[in-house]
Chains A and B, each alone.
Chain A
Amino acid sequence: MLSRTADHLFWMSRYIERAENLARLLDVTWQMSMVPQSEEAANQNWRAIITLNSLDEAFSAKYDTVNAENVLRFMVRDADNYSSIYSCLRMARENAHAVRGTVTSEMWETLNFTWLEARDRTFEEIFNAGIGEFFEWVKMRSSLSRGTTLGTLLQDESYHFIRLGTLLERADNTARILDVKYHVLRPHGDEGATDFYQWGALLRSVSAFEVYRKAYRDVITPERVAELLILRDDMPRSLHFCMNGVVKNLELIANRHSGETQRQAGLLHAQLHYARVEDILAQGLHEWLTDFMDRIYILGDGISKDFLVPLAEAA
């Protein structure tokens, strides 16, 4: 397969996954903001989203104050913000457009239609119709995109690059959601009365509330939430699950340059496979997640160099 084609497929799937996870993060923040709390605490939650995406400067260039409306405006429909849901859907579509002969027509139509619908709605229209519904819509469109991929695409190299993009992005995004929310919910390790709702909302944001009940049949504790989202290898949004897929798909596309990238992926996977949540928490969850995200970044870089950017030897 053409390196450039693989590159577009990889980023197409990363952007649609990113849009979905952003919708999830904004959704949980929106829901948590409805639990009684001080205005300062509420705005703190919104600021965390901006900081998490390293957008402080870009945000303050356009908006004076951090509050729910401004952050939503910025992260949902702002065309100037390359990290907004709007921009992610556009980039997913642009990448698909560049390889529309490689993806199936159903896949292309799904992403094209998603983009056309998103493009034609102003923030006011989205907000007035219910922002929660919009987040649901983004999630459904992402599911549809994944479904058409699974249901229609030949499972050759193109499929492996798409899966690789999806899983790498999801691993990063789940780690981010967990990092920002864990930090806000448990800054000092003490527990409060709102915990059940807050943790419940976090679990729901990664579609893990029912999963949690099923897996633990017990009250929600922060340790178990961390365990579920990091270590359970049967939970589709957990870090372990994502790394399973990353390792598998990397093996399927291996070439003679990719040995080091595969080794690093294997190492990260093994560490998740044999880790205990107590050890991770003892080390400090924030530090652990930061390290994890750095390594995901390095993996993405390695994949780019090994497969996607034409190699210097050629020219």
Chain B
Amino acid sequence: MNFYNEMMDANGGVRAHYQRYDDWLKSTPPERIARKRAEADLAFHRVGITFAVYGEEAGKERLIPFDIVPRIIPSAEWKALQSGLRQRVKALNMFLHDVYHNQEILKAGKIPAEQVLNNAQYRPVMQGVDVPGGIYAHIAGVDIVRAGAGEFYVLEDNLRVPSGVSYMLEDRKMMMRLFPELFAKHKVAPVQHYPDMLLEKLRAVSPKGVSNPTVVVLTPGAYNSAYFEHTFLAQQMGVELVEGRDLFVKDEVVYMQTTQGPQRVDVIYRRIDDDYLDPQAFRADSTLGIPGILRAYQAGNVTLANAIGTGVADDKSIYPYVPDMIRFYLGEEPKLNNVPTYMCRKKDDLEYVLAHLPELVVKEVHGAGGYGMLVGPASTKEQIEHFRKLLIAKPDGYIGQPTLALSNCPTFVEEGIAPRHLDLRPFVLSSGECVNMVPGGLTRVALTKGSLVVNSSQGGGTKDTWVLED
């Protein structure tokens, strides 16, 4: 397979936007780099920038490996990406509004109605509910990869509770602390204003008639894998970090328990899945949620970000239709590529997938986190046969895609510096007509040689992402 190297061109020369970094790397003594890498490790540990892994010993926390070779994106490339992201997230929000109102896109036959209405992520309770500004996905984490010829693809749209933005911010802080001289040599677009931007968006979508909204971050608690991020964002925005048990609903209004008595809450940046949000409406066994919050939400007395029911737009079975959404709602051609997708619920597609398993990537429609997927070229015969059985038993549970030649970037590993595959997750913020993002996003890197799975739960690491200004 032919991989695009972010730093080197096909002839082994250094790409122009990496030239200064390469000069620096060659002129910096290896001992200094080694010392700085150890320093970074220690600092991440002391600061406790860790994540918990489900299935491991309770309360155990791991560091996400941080790599000191940045992922550099030239200005022009970023501008194109940004414009495509704006277009895509705008259309996705319009789709969500439409699905929960008049369903024009279904009536027009652009998406089979049963694909949407029978989807487990479609929430009938949201039908006819108006949300402030018509925005459902206030925070979107769109995963982007670059393939063999250097072209970008959207791998998936995360519209429920996308995480990782704290690593983007901490990685930048760490790079600036370790190698300030690099920032003197490069015009790196700043990202540290993300929490301000987020707070501004959250305040902009407060319920009608609230002029000075109380915003909170809702976390499942200290044992959640992204707990560090929840505390980080609450602290950076200067708002309370609450758990479900801190909130209660009275007369369709949400309050938090404070040392001075109950206080009204207007906007909740929730980091809890729909299913756990309200035991009266969704999973009755949820101890994380707030009984009655759905009714307060439907009454328009509190804003949830993201809205309930966004999963129907980022589901892998809906993904193939996003380009059609863009054409339907905006009357524009999509600026970002979708990966060609075989929907195994279609007979022809299933046959193709079964016949080409060793070359394809097969994903569970509702899967996430790099679990429940088959990477054909990297799998054993047994694994492929196992997936064949799964596919035949439940074809509508899977999609197939060509294995993308994910681009790679030089990365520090045991044996020195070697290329490793990576992706990019920009965080796109929406309120009303306005769609914004900080330049870049989170770059995740698969540290295992040859691996195409970048998820931190599967041993992935991160890199600082630099968008260079002109």
* Genuine A/B complex: yes
User: Once bound together, how far apart are the Cα atoms of A112 and B61, in whole Å?
Assistant: 12
**Does the CB pair B48–A97 fall under 8 Å?**
yes
Segment at the interface with B among A42-50, A185-193, A263-271, A307-315: A307-315
Residues of B within 8 A of A94 (CB): 222
**Does the CB pair B46–A2 fall under 8 Å?**
no
Q: Is A4 an interface residue (CB 8 A)?
A: yes
Closest-by-CB residue of B relative to A112 is: B48
Closest-by-CB residue of A relative to B233 is: A101
Residues of A within 8 A of B248 (CB): 310, 314-315
Residues of B within 8 A of A105 (CB): 47
Q: Is A215 an interface residue (CB 8 A)?
A: no
**Does the CB pair A307–B255 fall under 8 Å?**
no
Q: Is A1 an interface residue (CB 8 A)?
A: yes
Find A101's partner among B231, B250, B257, B262 (CB 8 Å cutoff). B231
Interface residues on chain B, number (Cβ under 8 Å): 27
CB-CB contacts of A213-253 with B at 8 A, as 1s and 0s? 00000000000000000000000000000000000000001
Q: Is B391 an interface residue (CB 8 A)?
A: no
User: Once bound together, how far apart are the Cα atoms of A161 and B262, in whole Å?
Assistant: 18
Within 8 A of A (CB), among B235-267: 235, 240-243, 245-246, 248, 250, 255-262
Closest-by-CB residue of A relative to B59 is: A94
Find B234's partner among A3, A101, A255 (CB 8 Å cutoff). A101
User: Once bound together, how far apart are the Cα atoms of A224 and B23, in whole Å?
Assistant: 72
User: Once bound together, how far apart are the Cα atoms of A255 and B259, in whole Å?
Assistant: 8
**Does the CB pair A101–B258 fall under 8 Å?**
no
Q: Is B283 an interface residue (CB 8 A)?
A: no
Q: Is the interface of A mostly helix, strand, loop or mixed?
A: helix
**Does the CB pair A101–B48 fall under 8 Å?**
no
User: Once bound together, how far apart are the Cα atoms of A35 and B405, in whole Å?
Assistant: 75
User: Once bound together, how far apart are the Cα atoms of A100 and B222, in whole Å?
Assistant: 10
CB-CB contacts of A93-128 with B at 8 A, as 1s and 0s? 010011111100100110011001000000000000
Q: Is B18 an interface residue (CB 8 A)?
A: no
Quick one: given A4-B246, A157-B259, are A97 and B222 in contact (CB under 8 Å)?
yes
CB distance from A145 to the nearest CB of B (A): 14
User: Once bound together, how far apart are the Cα atoms of A256 and B260, in whole Å?
Assistant: 8
**Does the CB pair A6–B259 fall under 8 Å?**
yes
Q: Is B232 an interface residue (CB 8 A)?
A: yes
User: Once bound together, how far apart are the Cα atoms of A308 and B231, in whole Å?
Assistant: 20
- Residues of A that sit less than 8 Å from B by CB: 1-6, 94, 97-102, 105, 108-109, 112-113, 116, 157, 161, 253, 255-256, 307-308, 310-311, 314-315
Pull 22 A–B residue pairs with CB atoms less than 8 Å apart, ordered by A. A2-B240, A2-B256, A3-B246, A3-B257, A4-B243, A4-B246, A5-B241, A94-B222, A97-B222, A100-B228, A100-B231, A100-B235, A101-B231, A102-B241, A109-B47, A109-B48, A116-B45, A255-B259, A308-B259, A310-B245, A314-B248, A314-B257
**Can you name 12 extra interface pairs (CB under 8 A) apart from A101-B230, A314-B255?**
A1-B240, A1-B260, A3-B259, A97-B48, A99-B241, A100-B228, A101-B232, A102-B241, A112-B46, A116-B46, A161-B259, A314-B250
Considering the complex of A and B, which 8 residue pairs feature the smallest CB-CB distances, nearest first?
Answer: A101-B235, A101-B231, A310-B257, A101-B234, A307-B259, A3-B257, A100-B231, A101-B241
